[in-house]
Amino acid sequence: MIIDIRDINESESLVIRGSLNEDIWQLEDSDLLKPSGGLNYDAEASILGEDLLVRGDFSSKFTFQCTHCLELFEKTINLDNHSVLTAIEGNSTIDLTNALREDIILALPNFLKCDQGDEKNEPCPASGKFSEGLNAGNSGEESTNDAPSKQWEALDQFNID
């Protein structure tokens, strides 16, 4: 993403909108995510003293693997109202690709479940099983049929600790 400083008036900012569709991410095959689209940007560039300030919204979609059920799913990483400040140092063009790549990579979550993706339809099947088990335990406790047995009390104690 190259900004031409000569396009920017000193008094007003330059609107830059578009997307970078080349693979800028340099991800390893062993990483649990893959790029799934370009880097979209909707920002304004302005000159601030000796620096170039680019401020706006940046987003990019990735395919993640759920850490619970290993399902693949897509999630968009958004950097809203994000700013990048770069020293101009007499250059007529400035490439912001590296700075933006680093900022988005830093914003990537580490342990994502499939129900945190862009399409939040189904809860993760792996975590669903887990919470169903907990609910069954709770409803058993609230049952009016039988007084809780000594075993249940012991289990409750165990859960609290």
Verify binding: residue 75, Zn ion, rule CB under 5 A.
no
Choose between 68 and 75: whose C-beta lies nearer to Zn ion.
Answer: 68
Q: Tell whether residue 124 is a contact of Zn ion (CB under 5 A).
A: yes
Q: Which is nearer to Zn ion, 20 or 124 (CB)?
A: 124
Residue of 68, 82, 94, 117 interacting with Zn ion (CB under 5 A): 68
Residue 108 sits in the site that holds Zn ion (CB under 5 A): no
User: Which of 102, 119 has the CB closer to Zn ion?
Assistant: 119
Q: Which is nearer to Zn ion, 78 or 127 (CB)?
A: 127
- Least Cβ distance, residue 131 to Zn ion (angstroms): 13
Which residue stretch of 10-18, 38-46, 47-55, 111-119 sits at the interface with Zn ion (rule: CB under 5 A)? Answer: 111-119
Buried residues in 60-76 as b, exposed as e (16+ CB within 10 A): bbbebbbebbebebbbe
Q: How far apart are CA 38 and CA 23, in angstroms?
A: 7
Decide if 90 contacts 57 (C-beta within 8 A): no
Alpha-carbon gap, residue 89 to 95, rounded angstroms: 13
Q: Check residue 112 for interaction with Zn ion (CB under 5 A).
A: no
* Binding-site member from 45, 77, 114, 117 for Zn ion (CB under 5 A): 114
Q: Which residues bind Zn ion (CB under 5 A)?
A: 66, 68-69, 71, 114, 124
